[in-house]
Amino acid sequence: MSESDHNKVMRDMKNYARTGDIDGLYTTIQTDPQFFQNIDQLQFVNTPLHEAAAAGETIFAAEIMNLNPSLGRKLNPDGLSPLHVALREDNIETAIALVRIDKQLVRVKGKAGFTPLHYAVEINTCLDVVARFLLDCPDSIDDLNNRSQTAVHVALESNNCDAAILLVNWLVRRSRENVVGWRDDKGNTALHVAVQYDCVQAVKIMVNIAKLNKRNSEGKTALDIAEDFQKKEIANFLKKAGARRAHELPLKQPLNQYLLSQPTYMENLVRGFHFMIADLTNDMRNVVLVVAALIATATYQAVLQPPGGLYQGNGDADDTGSTSRIALAAPAPAPSSSSPKHAAGKMVMTRPVYYNQFMPANTVAFTLSMVMIIFVLHGRPYNIILHTCLFFLAHSYVIAMSFISGSNDVSDTMFVVSWFVIAAAYGRRCRIMW
- Chain-centroid distance, C-alpha 288: 21
* Cβ within 8 Å of residue 53, ≥6 positions away: 61, 82, 83, 85, 86, 89, 91, 94, 95, 98
Q: Burial code of 160-176, b = ≥16 C-beta within 10 A, e = fewer?
A: bbbbbbbbbebbeeeee
Report how far apart the first and last C-alpha atoms of the chain are (Å, whole number): 59
Q: Is the overall model pTM greater than 0.75, yes or no?
A: no
DSSP per-residue letters across 371-393:
HHHHHHS---TTHHHHHHHHHHH
Are 323 and 345 in contact, with CB atoms under 8 Å apart?
no
pLDDT of the chain, 434 residues: tens digit per residue: 566 767 788 899 999 999 999 999 999 999 888 889 888 888 999 999 999 999 999 999 999 999 999 999 999 999 999 999 999 999 999 999 999 999 999 999 999 999 999 999 999 878 999 999 999 999 999 999 999 999 999 999 999 999 999 999 999 988 889 999 999 999 999 999 999 999 999 999 999 999 999 999 999 999 999 999 999 999 999 999 999 999 898 887 777 887 888 888 888 877 776 676 666 666 677 777 788 888 888 888 887 777 777 767 654 444 444 444 434 444 444 444 444 455 666 777 656 677 778 888 888 898 888 888 887 776 555 567 777 888 888 888 888 887 777 657 777 788 888 888 888 877 776 655 54
d(CA 209, CA 195): 15
